[in-house]
Amino acid sequence: MLPGRTGDVMDVDAGVPVTVIGGYLGAGKTTLVNSLLRQAAGRRLAVLVNDFGDLSIDADLIEGADDQVLQLAGGCVCCTIGSDLVAALAELRERFPDVDQVLLEASGVAMPGAVASTVTLISGLRRAAVVVVVAADRLPGLLADSYLSDTIERQLAAADLLIVGHASDCDASAMVRLRERLTRINARAPVIAADHGRVPIDLVLEPRLNTIANDSRGLAPRPIGPANAPFASLTLTASGPVDADALCQALHAPDLGIERAKGVLFCLDGALRVVHVLGRDCRLERSANPPRSAYGDLVIIGLRERLDEARLLRSLAGFQITGRRYL
């Protein structure tokens, strides 16, 4: 008898399906979420954010905000998780009982398989799939990094579907090698190449990718462990307008040990901008969403053994920026 049919041991159709979207820092998870929201076409999606910083929902998708909940187009919503995933899932189920699907964007350093197991603790929710996004141009270097390779491989191994972003940055032979490497780590997960998160929504939300139903039976639910332990994070708060271009240049210094930086800041020209820093790359985008503090915040993420907090604060002393421990 197929899983989920009447009379089976477990009815996997009971409850609202939750799709966990994982992947390392800067892989393209938020880009995928925005793409899925644009394809909702009547589906009522709830987005839960389990990340160090704020999720950058595309401004034209936001219709309003109420009590830390973003009201999105088409009856969709976006909520933050905070420090207690189980409580956030239970609250979401209670506040929005009519949602069709939940998209849970895991932290870039979290283990998405453990996050998916936590979903089974909540009555009325069920694990649909674990989708892991990887950046084609960065994955080989991450797997070769002695500090990061274990985290990356564990994330990949938990996936029911692997989405390779930045695919156009790789030639055909590089993509073949990348697929072969991913298959060695996780032979059961299909690998899909995509750019800008353009993946058919039905493929990502489909609750029976491969053997998900079979894999979910017999797994004991467990709370999330200290998945973020190898990483440190620092929240920087601006006390005045910031020269965003100069700030990006300062954050590029390799001796600071920064893996990822993102935030919303008021700039010297009066504009509000989202700052994304990933390794040696920096992107500035106009933002319609105000920051949490008066002039903005920036979240810095790095490996504990590499992130030099004292050097970082000294290098940013001229930007009217102060730091406070975040994790």
Provide long-range contacts, Cβ within 8 A and 24+ apart, for 287-291: 287/56, 287/59, 288/59, 288/62, 289/54, 289/56, 289/57, 289/59, 289/62, 289/264, 290/264, 291/263, 291/264, 291/265, 291/266
**pLDDT tens string 82-129:** 678 888 899 888 889 899 999 999 888 889 999 999 888 888 998 889
**pLDDT tens string 293-313:** 788 888 887 777 778 788 888
Q: Is 72 helix (H, G, I), strand (E, B) or coil?
A: strand
Q: For residue 18, what pLDDT is reported? A: 93
- Which of these ranges, 141-150, 184-193, 268-277, 315-324, has the smallest mean pLDDT? 315-324
pTM above 0.75, yes or no: no
Q: For residue 227, what pLDDT is reported? A: 40
State both tokens at 283.
């992107």
Q: What is the mean pLDDT of residues 260-285?
A: 81
**pLDDT tens string 49-85:** 854 444 567 778 888 877 678 888 888 888 887 678 8
**Does the pLDDT at position 209 exceed 70?**
no
